[in-house]
């Protein structure tokens, strides 16, 4: 899957989970700093992403931004 397609799907999931406009979710967006996501929000996003992409994201993975997540998913594909 191309990074653009991954980002589009990730963007929709994050926007839905955090009740944000999709335009607010960009590659440089930091979950905690830009979207005010707490650890439970991030946990729920990760669960949705794991289900949507059929991957497992280890807790030791450093995922602070949307780009981190897209890069991880591109490598896992």
Active site residue ranges = 38
List own/partner pairs for 36-42 with CB under 8 A and 24 or more apart: 41/17
Report the alpha-carbon distance of residue 1 to residue 17 in Å, rounded. 22
> In angstroms, rounded to a whole number, what is the distance separating the alpha carbons of residues 66 and 10?
8
């Amino acid at each position: 899957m191309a990074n653009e397609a991954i980002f589009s799907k990730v963007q929709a999931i994050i926007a839905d989970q955090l009740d944000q406009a999709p335009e607010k979710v960009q590659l440089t967006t930091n979950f905690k700093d830009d979207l005010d996501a707490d650890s439970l929000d991030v946990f729920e996003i990760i669960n949705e992403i794991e289900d949507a992409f059929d991957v497992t994201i280890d807790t030791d993975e450093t995922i602070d931004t949307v780009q981190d997540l897209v890069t991880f998913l591109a490598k896992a594909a």
